[in-house]
Amino acid sequence: MTAQPPRPTSRDVARAAGVSQATVSLVLGDKWRGRVSEPTAAQVRETARTLGYTPNLAARSLRLGRTRTALLVVPALTNEFFARVYTGAAAVAAAHGFGVVIYPSPAGVGPARDPFGSARTALDGVIASSMATDALAAIRATGLPLVMLDSDPAAPGAAAQVNLDIADGFRQVTGHLLGLGHRRLVHLASAVDSWTFGVRAGALADAVRDVPDASVTTVTAPFDVGAAKEAALRALTGPGPRPTAVVCDGDIFAAGACKAVRHLGLRVPDDVSVTGFDDLALATAVEPELTTVRLPAEQVGERGMTALLAVLEGRRPEPGDLPVSLVVRGSTAPAPAPAPDSTTPGRPSLGPPGA
């Protein structure tokens, strides 16, 4: 029997390419960016091909992670959705011997800033939602693999994307309201400028564009019940016929909209229907319970951590957006019949305001 030639090793590749074994590991493990020049990386890859070298995936999986720690970056921990994302990510991480460190925005809302002042040497990868541009640049500079959650698919620098089908969620909720006869809608939108909220506004506009007599008035507010109430009050008491439905970017906004309706002496859903988005615990704590769009937050975290592990192992992450679903509850009903004087400017007297 003819003896088989020995398999080339990473040491053979390093010797032939004139680089260190560490450089070979960085390049073939796709962790070279920011540490190895592009020409050197190309030389290592070409040398490995010439020698017929392929990494030992079993051994590589055992070596995965210098620290076996991932960083999860979220806009806020005060929002239940992101706490559930963490729960999902941590469960998958624990099953693979990883830990998850969570980093919220110091401001509590909006994009998180660069978290790498002290942590750049203590991580194996990053899972991030709504990251700021400077933070993305910092991640690229470290060479750490980055998995983006609920973010613009066109954003550069991500090794994998995990998105919810946000547009379909807004199509579902808008279709529900239009089917109930609502034509004068208010969009209570987030004041945060981010991809996910832009998708919501675009999907809502598209859904009503071809519906006769349908219109959308947009008001913005910070993610706060009180601010949402004030914004909804402005929209419901403006000139012209009163809107019959308020479409909210989140359940927190919907709670504020319900308070605004009651403040005007009106009823949800008899006079004004209100919809949320997220299906937080809040959705069933208010009365009437909210019609909302359920987002599988735990699955977002699970898919994000699974994608990061796949990238670290050199595998292709699972593609495709996660589906969302409309949950119809008591806060929506058929549009009320127009009042006799509803076409005149202003609003008729509503009696004493509610709580």
Within a domain: residue 42?
A: yes
Do 267 and 196 share a structural domain? Answer: yes
Q: Are 196 and 127 contained in the same domain?
A: no
* 236 inside domain: yes
Half-sphere exposure of 349 (CA within 13 A, CB side): 2
Of 3, 48, 293, whose CA–CA distance to 174 is shortest?
A: 293
Domain count along the chain = 3
Q: Are residues 202 and 157 in the same domain?
A: no
Q: Are residues 261 and 150 in the same domain?
A: no
Query: Do the domain assignments include residue 353?
Result: no
- Cα–chain center distance at 225: 21
Q: Do 304 and 283 fall within a single domain?
A: no
pLDDT tens track, the chain, 355 positions: 455 567 788 788 888 999 887 788 778 877 677 778 888 989 998 998 888 887 654 344 334 556 788 989 888 777 889 999 999 999 998 888 888 988 876 555 566 665 655 445 578 888 988 655 556 666 666 778 889 999 888 877 788 999 999 999 999 999 999 999 999 999 999 998 888 999 999 999 999 998 989 999 999 999 899 999 999 999 999 999 999 999 999 999 999 999 999 999 999 999 999 999 999 999 999 999 999 999 999 999 999 999 999 998 888 898 889 999 999 999 999 999 876 554 433 444 333 344 4
CA neighbor of 75 nearest in space, from 39, 115, 103, 36 = 103
Tell me whether residue 317 is in a domain: yes
DSSP 266-298: --TTTT-EEE-SB--THHHHSSSPPBEEE--HH
Q: Do 195 and 287 sit in the same domain of this protein?
A: yes
Question: Is residue 47 located within the same domain as residue 95?
Answer: no
Cα 27 from Cα 18, distance rounded (Å) = 14
Looking at 126-274, list the stretches that DSSP marks H as alpha helix, in order from N- to C-terminal side: 133-142, 166-179, 195-209, 225-236, 251-263
**Residue-range definition of the domain harbouring residue 179:** 166-294
Alpha-carbon distance of 128 to 105, in angstroms, equals 11
Helices 38-51/21-28 angle, 10° precision: 90
pTM: 0.74
Q: Residue 308: inside a domain, yes or no?
A: yes
In CATH, what number is assigned to the domain containing residue 194? 3.40.50.2300
Residue 4 lies in a domain: no
Q: Is residue 1 part of a domain?
A: no
**Side-chain half-sphere exposure of 265, counting CA atoms within 13 A:** 8
